A and B are shown apart, each in its own frame.
Chain A
Amino acid sequence: MVLLPLILLGTLLWQISKSEQAQIRQALAQLSEDQLRSVQDILLGAVAERLEQLRHLPGLTAEGQESLRAFVRKHSTVRALLVLDAKGQLLHPPPKSTRSQAENEFIVRAEQVWKDKALFLHPPESEAQPGPGGGASAPADSSGQAQGWYSWYHGNSLNLLHWQRLKDGGVVGVELDSIQLLSDLISRLPSDSLDQSTSSMQRIMLVDSRGEILYQWGGYAPAKGETPLARLTLAAPLGAWQLWAFSSQASQAAAGAGTWLRNLLLLLPLLLSLVGLAFYLYRESTRQAREAQQRVTFVNQVTHELKTPLTNIRLYAELLSESFEFSDATAAGHLNVVIGESQRLNRLIDNVLSFARQERGSLRIRPAQGVIDDVIMRTLDSFRTMLASKEVRIETSLCAAARVFVDADAVGQILGNLLSNVEKYASSGNVVVVASRQESGRTYITVSDRGPGIPESERENIFKPFVRLSSKLTDGTAGTGIGLTIARQLARHHGGDIQLLPSQAGACFEISLTTAEAARAPATDP
């Protein structure tokens, strides 16, 4: 019972730390993305500088081959140069016989460009379309593609071309030296310091389209196959490259353990006290159970201790009364008193036992085959002497002779309690009338007397345990106040009840019982 909240708490903790972890990671990812964007700015700045260098190139195309060659020789950013006329004919490099080896190599390298040259001359109206070699031109301004980028693969290497339209409709294109570009970008990107303690626990990588590292910086060395915290594909024309950011804080182990552990430590006192409480409650409940068990055992033992000698007393007293020929009526009378008192004691003990059982919830009715009237007669017999000594006359009207299922002891106890009350409190009426009747599975027994009766206000109270009506007559009379309580319990267990019927004089109790008819059995009546 305590385990469940513990489990729930644990799960809650786990969820919290996981979401915290996710939040931290997200925040770091955001930070990293911003960082990558500012790195991208540096890189695109370098590209912009190159474009600046190329700005006056269109003018240069009019100055002839040597000027163009000198341009290529001078600018480390430029690997090769081409000029096309409006019809797409190659103006530079010049015809084969007057080319240098480097220019020949460029022609070979750029075969994809010749196939796609339509892109520069008649660029599409709509979105830029990728060429078959994987290149695409990006329209620069709305005034109809004055310049653009084109990239293509030759073998394994990626080549980058920037083209500009000339006034006469031709095109001048510059193959950027991508190695030089990379080297230049590297020179603008951060490097590290030898001092490990101040080095940042992150790493940024510039990677190519295959995920190969081109350049990296930062003190943190990510594990093989670790996923980057943030990624950024660079804007054109560097779109083949990406920036990846790694952070040691974001790697699961560090964050996860940290917050999970921290939360655990914070809630540890609570957990401990919960566990302690569980333990205490458990011990408490078992203690009560233990004590209850002890009480039950005690009650059982006491009543057993009491009943056993009592039974003996009765037994021997009755034996004595039967086997002894009394010449002296006084002795017989004395013996009757002994018997009667021991019976009373027995009844009292039974009441206590029943009460205890009722409290425990283990009061049971054990119906067996029997005849109600016989039970009534037996009970009356045992009270005859006592009632006679109080000058109470017994009148009976018994009509419950059917063979039914009945708990004879319970009925006897109920009746006994009522008769006992009559003997104690209603003997002034000098009569007790016991009547019984049966109808459709129920038996009704009434016990009425002509005693002082019971006040209207006390009609229900009398059935409550430990309640004894106080009056001058009852003062001094011993009683436990549980007789009627027991009687009612028993009656109720027997599927019926006891009620105090209204009467003009004295008290009239009606016992009702559920008594199912039993099959005819061979006569065993005594």
Chain B
Amino acid sequence: MKTNWLQRAVLSTIGIGLALEVSAAQVDLKVAVSHPVVLSGEKQTEYLKIGLTGTPMAGGKERVAVNVAIVLDRSGSMAGQKLERAKAAAIAAIARLDRNDIVSVVAYDDTIQVLVPATRARDKEEIYRAIRSLYPGNSTALFAGVSKGAAEVRKFADVNQINRVILLSDGLANVGPSSPEALSSLGAALAKEGISATTLGLGLDYNEDLLVGLARSSDGNHAFVESANDLPRIFGLEFGDLLSAVAKEITITIRLPEGVRPVRVLGRDAEIIGQTVIASLKQIYGQQEKYVLLEVELPARVPETNLQIAALEVAFFDLAAQSRLKLDKSVSVRYSILPLEVEKNIQRDVMVAAVEQIANDNSKRALMLRDQGMVEKAREALNQNQLYLRQNAERLGSDRLQDFSKRNQSNLENLDENNWQRGRKAMKKMNYEVDNQQAW
């Protein structure tokens, strides 16, 4: 969360009030457009970035309780190191919880075992003992595992806290609904209830479409955990997010005036109904920015006219204030006949976000090509993406885009048959991470 004072100063001299920071308790809302000054005379493409950053709870304020269900895969393929590491990682993560947190542990193979029914994290030894008693079984009733985990969370689900199901899977779901569509539907249903699901894919044999689908529709995190040794670290990161949450149930409503056409929302899923765009997030974590990037088409106007292009309303439940809060903003642009002026005023971080999302889209398209067997075409697409990223990284002076281009390069190298099983998982993880601005 960098505040560009210089940029703000420039903007304020132009006299157009926008990109003001509004702080309301724990969430900082930052709204910006890529081109505050647009070229007059013809329709223009504009990117509108609505950024939300969590302010960590001030010292002295008690962290809000979390309500988390850990759902562990105990199918036959987890036997040995994998299950042992998973148990250890779960135990280590639970160690970080305190008396007010609620934890439950569910294991699944053909059937479901509720090892630790939802309980306050007080008698931890009992909880650890139950987890340690886990041993491998047979097949994979993943859908039922998530359902039972959600049931445990539901017992204490509260508007006042983060409700989360953490799913660990190392293989293909084969008992009960097992398609990505089914799990996506489940994620969406859970999201409506205020429960989000984080999915951790362990090894090279899990179904990445399924796990990403579940995470995406419920706005949880997703990780590709190649080695079981990474599990403690990953669990740690997930719990880190959970314990730093500052707001939940965030709804962003963007109303556009007639003439301003909403084209698409990049990255996230959002509803576009006429002139209204509605997006939602399940939670905001401290010191992390999540954003909604909306592409709009501006009408042609004569120079030196101002146009309010969007009216925003961000509603969320503030965990510190323990109440529902609302933030309002509106955004305007100025039309200019001077291309140079337009150029000079480009908002860098909005452009970075735009490039990031477009490059991510390219990456997703390349993945689809590769899925259809068109390896060469996929390679071509990623090569072009590489160029795109490098050019823009330079132009915008963005480290973020540089990092992205490195990852894009590595994806390029994993398109071949030998590496694709791994490559696809890495690619899907990256795509989701960029869509969702996941911090890890």
Contact = CB atoms under 8 A, between A and B. Distances in A.
Interface string A149-165: 00000000000000000
Contact of A180 (B114, B144, B185): B185
A184 B154 CA distance: 11
B135 A221 contact: no
Given A191-B111, A216-B141, 8 more contacts: A98-B273, A100-B271, A177-B189, A180-B189, A187-B151, A187-B154, A194-B107, A215-B176
B147 interface: yes
The 4 closest A-B pairs by CB, nearest first: A187-B151, A180-B189, A76-B192, A179-B185
A182 interface: yes
Nearest to B134: A194
A318 to B, nearest CB: 110
Interface in A71-106: 73-77, 97-102
B177 to A, nearest CB: 7
Interface in B395-422: none
A99 B189 CA distance: 21
A192 interface: yes
Contacts of B113: 191-194
Nearest to B280: A73
Contacts of B148: 186-187, 191
A183 B141 contact: no
B150 interface: yes
Interface in B161-197: 175-177, 182, 185-186, 189-190, 192-193
B112 A191 contact: yes
B134 A99 contact: no
A25 to B, nearest CB: 24
Interface of B is mostly: mixed
A217 interface: yes
Contact of B111 (A76, A99, A101, A218): A218
B323 interface: no
Interface string B121-153: 000000000000111001001011011101100
Nearest to B269: A101
A77 B188 CA distance: 11
A182 B176 CA distance: 10
Contacts of B110: 216, 221
Interface in A46-75: 73-75
A76 B185 CA distance: 10
Q: Which one of B115, B148, B189, B272 has the highest number of Cβ atoms from chain A below 10 Å of its Cβ? A: B189
A76 B177 contact: no
B406 to A, nearest CB: 34
A180 B185 CA distance: 7
A11 B73 CA distance: 52
Given A97-B274, A100-B271, A194-B113, A179 B150 contact: no
Contacts of B271: 100-102
Contacts of A99: 273
A187 B146 CA distance: 9
Interface in A208-231: 213-218, 221
Contacts of B175: 213, 216
B147 A183 contact: yes
A183 B144 CA distance: 7
Interface string A98-120: 11111000000000000000000
A443 B133 CA distance: 112
Nearest to B109: A192
A521 to B, nearest CB: 103
Given A100-B271, A186-B147, A218-B111, A194 B133 contact: yes
A182 B177 contact: yes
Given A100-B272, A100-B273, A216-B111, A177 B185 contact: yes
Nearest to A206: B176
Interface of B: 106-107, 110-115, 133-135, 138, 141, 143-144, 146-148, 150-151, 154, 175-177, 182, 185-186, 189-190, 192-193, 271-274
B150 A214 contact: no
B213 to A, nearest CB: 12
A76 B190 contact: yes
A197 B45 CA distance: 67
Given A186-B144, A186-B148, A194-B133, A213 B272 contact: no
Q: How large, as a class, is the contact surface on chain A?
A: 20 to 34
Nearest to B137: A194
A177 B141 CA distance: 20
A78 to B, nearest CB: 9
A136 to B, nearest CB: 24
A60 B8 CA distance: 47
Q: Among A188, A214, A218, find the residue whose CB has the most chain B CB atoms closer than 10 A.
A: A214
A191 B106 CA distance: 10
Contact of B186 (A77, A179, A213, A217): A179
10 contacts: A74-B192, A99-B273, A183-B143, A183-B186, A186-B148, A193-B113, A214-B176, A214-B177, A216-B141, A217-B111
Interface centre among A74, A99, A183 (most CB of B within 10 A): A183
Nearest to B193: A76
Given A99-B273, A213-B175, A192 B112 contact: yes
A181 B130 CA distance: 30
Interface string A10-37: 0000000000000000000000000000
A180 B106 CA distance: 19
Given A76-B192, A99-B273, A221 B150 contact: no
A298 B193 CA distance: 110
A218 B175 CA distance: 14
B133 A221 contact: no
Contacts of B141: 215-216
Given A191-B112, A191-B148, A221 B138 contact: yes
B192 A75 contact: yes
A423 B262 CA distance: 154
A218 B111 CA distance: 8
Nearest to A77: B189
Contact of A217 (B112, B143, B274): B112
B112 A101 contact: no
B247 to A, nearest CB: 18
A101 B274 contact: no
A274 B207 CA distance: 68
Contacts of A75: 192
Contacts of A179: 177, 182, 185-186, 189
B111 A180 contact: no
Contacts of B272: 100-101
B150 A194 contact: no
A212 to B, nearest CB: 8
Contacts of B185: 177, 179-180
A275 B271 CA distance: 88
A383 to B, nearest CB: 109
Interface string A429-451: 00000000000000000000000
A295 B115 CA distance: 89
A193 to B, nearest CB: 6
Contact of A192 (B111, B134, B138, B146): B111
Given A180-B186, A215-B144, A216-B110, A73 B176 contact: no
A194 B147 CA distance: 18
A177 B111 CA distance: 23
A218 B110 CA distance: 10
A70 to B, nearest CB: 11
Contacts of B143: 182-183, 186
Nearest to A78: B192
B190 to A, nearest CB: 7
B246 to A, nearest CB: 23
Contacts of A102: 271
Contacts of A191: 106, 111-114, 148
Interface string A350-367: 000000000000000000
Contacts of A180: 185-186, 189
A57 to B, nearest CB: 16
